[in-house]
Amino acid sequence: EADIYQTPRYLVIGTGKKITLECSQTMGHDKMYWYQQDPGMELHLIHYSYGVNSTEKGDLSSESTVSRIRTEHFPLTLESARPSHTSQYLCASSPSLGVSNEKLFFGSGTQLSVL
Amino acid sequence: KNQVEQSPQSLIILEGKNCTLQCNYTVSPFSNLRWYKQDTGRGPVSLTIMTFSENTKSNGRYTATLDADTKQSSLHITASQLSDSASYICVVSDRGSTLGRLYFGRGTQLTVWP
């Protein structure tokens, strides 16, 4: 149903490496989000964007950065990965049809492991 | 403090049986409540969205109820199937901002056995 794609699905890297998690959607949605999810825990919002050139930090403090140069693309970058960054990262988007009843469409996630 | 609590944390049922998952919230002001299904290793998929004025909403074998007075919601699954095995997440949105902040529960892990 959802046309939102995340790559890679799985990533294992060493400490100190720079990584970029990709997220693209073909639905023309203005709003995009990055969530972090640990096993058995709730999703935490780390970044969001209302549109091109608009990015905001979410509730959870994160050392990652994001950019929104194109509507369909919302990559997340970690300049120097650490073991504490090991988690699942979920990208989502929603249309700007209004406020309350917007449905979130999620990608399949990237499972990141930092050794 | 705005919170969303789900119970039980995990549940095992036999195929064909019904089950009910609970969600209690303290989010205020309230805008809407959503139920999502998350398969292992996948992103959540929306099942239902209910606003303040809606008491029940169905999506196939899934029926969600909402009592805004007691701040409780339930998700009832009828005639369970093996494919229903997943985590079910309750999400509540407030009206505190134009974004409508979302508060996520930790989910109920449902396992359906043959």
What is the three-state SS of B13-42?
A: EECCCCEEEEEEECCCCEEEEEEEEECCCC
Q: How far is A17 from chain B (nearest CA, A)?
A: 24
Closest CA to B34 of B21, B46, B22: B46
pLDDT of A100 above 70: no
How high is the mean pLDDT of chain B? 93
pLDDT digits (tens, 9 = 90+) for B1-37: 779 999 999 999 999 999 999 999 999 888 899 999 9
Closest CA to B79 of B24, B19, B23: B19
Contact yes or no for B102 and A45 at CB 8 A: yes
Contact yes or no for B104 and A43 at CB 8 A: yes
CB proximity B92 to A under 8 Å: no
pLDDT at A14: 95
How high is the mean pLDDT of chain A? 90
For residue A45, the chain B residues in CB contact (below 8 A) are 102
pLDDT at B86: 97
Count Cβ atoms below 10 Å from residue A108 Cβ, excluding itself: 18
Closest CA to B90 of B6, B14, B8, B12: B6
pLDDT at A103: 82
pLDDT of B100 above 80: no
CB proximity A43 to B under 8 Å: yes
Q: Strand, helix or coil at B84? A: helix
Q: Any bridge partners for residue B13, and if so which?
A: B112
Q: B33, B53 in Cβ contact below 8 A?
A: no
CB proximity A27 to B under 8 Å: no
Report residue A101's pLDDT band, with 50, 70 and 90 as the boundaries. Answer: low
Q: Strand, helix or coil at A84? A: helix
For residue A99, the chain B residues in CB contact (below 8 A) are 31, 95, 98-100
pLDDT digits (tens, 9 = 90+) for A15-71: 999 999 999 999 999 899 999 999 889 999 999 998 999 999 988 777 899 999 999
Report residue B97's pLDDT band, with 50, 70 and 90 as the boundaries. Answer: low
